[in-house]
Amino acid sequence: MITHSYEQCPRCQSPTEKAQAMNKGPSEFWYKCTKCNTFINTYQPQPHQQAVHQDSTRFTANFGGRKAVAT
């Protein structure tokens, strides 16, 4: 597994902080540089997600169900 340190900006080496999510809380996947406002996406796909990212077709769709109801 590849691990990264997101404590410093890759562009200017300044400290970073968690970016603000849409719900005004800390973002799960994004960091923001405190100096140059560079955003760093920390998302790493899990093995079962990797196939979707490597798919070379033009359009890809993922569908998932939740709480299937028997009729």
DSSP 8-70: B-TTT--BEEEEEPTTSSEEEEEEEETTT--EEE-----HHHHHHHH--SS--------S---
pLDDT higher at 33 or 56: 33
pTM over 0.75: no
> Considering the domain boundaries, does residue 55 fall inside one?
no
Q: For the chain, what is the domain count?
A: 1
pLDDT value at residue 8:
94
- Once rounded to an integer, what is the mean pLDDT over residues 4-8? 86
> Considering the domain boundaries, does residue 28 fall inside one?
yes
pLDDT digits (tens, 9 = 90+) for 13-53: 999 999 999 999 999 999 999 999 999 999 888 888 888 88
pLDDT value at residue 48:
83
Residue 68 binned pLDDT confidence (cut-offs 50, 70, 90): low
User: Which residue shows structure tokens 């109801």?
Assistant: 69
CA-to-CA distance for 55 and 42, rounded, in angstroms? 21
> Considering the domain boundaries, does residue 60 fall inside one?
no
> Considering the domain boundaries, does residue 54 fall inside one?
no
Contact 39, 27 (CB under 8 A): no
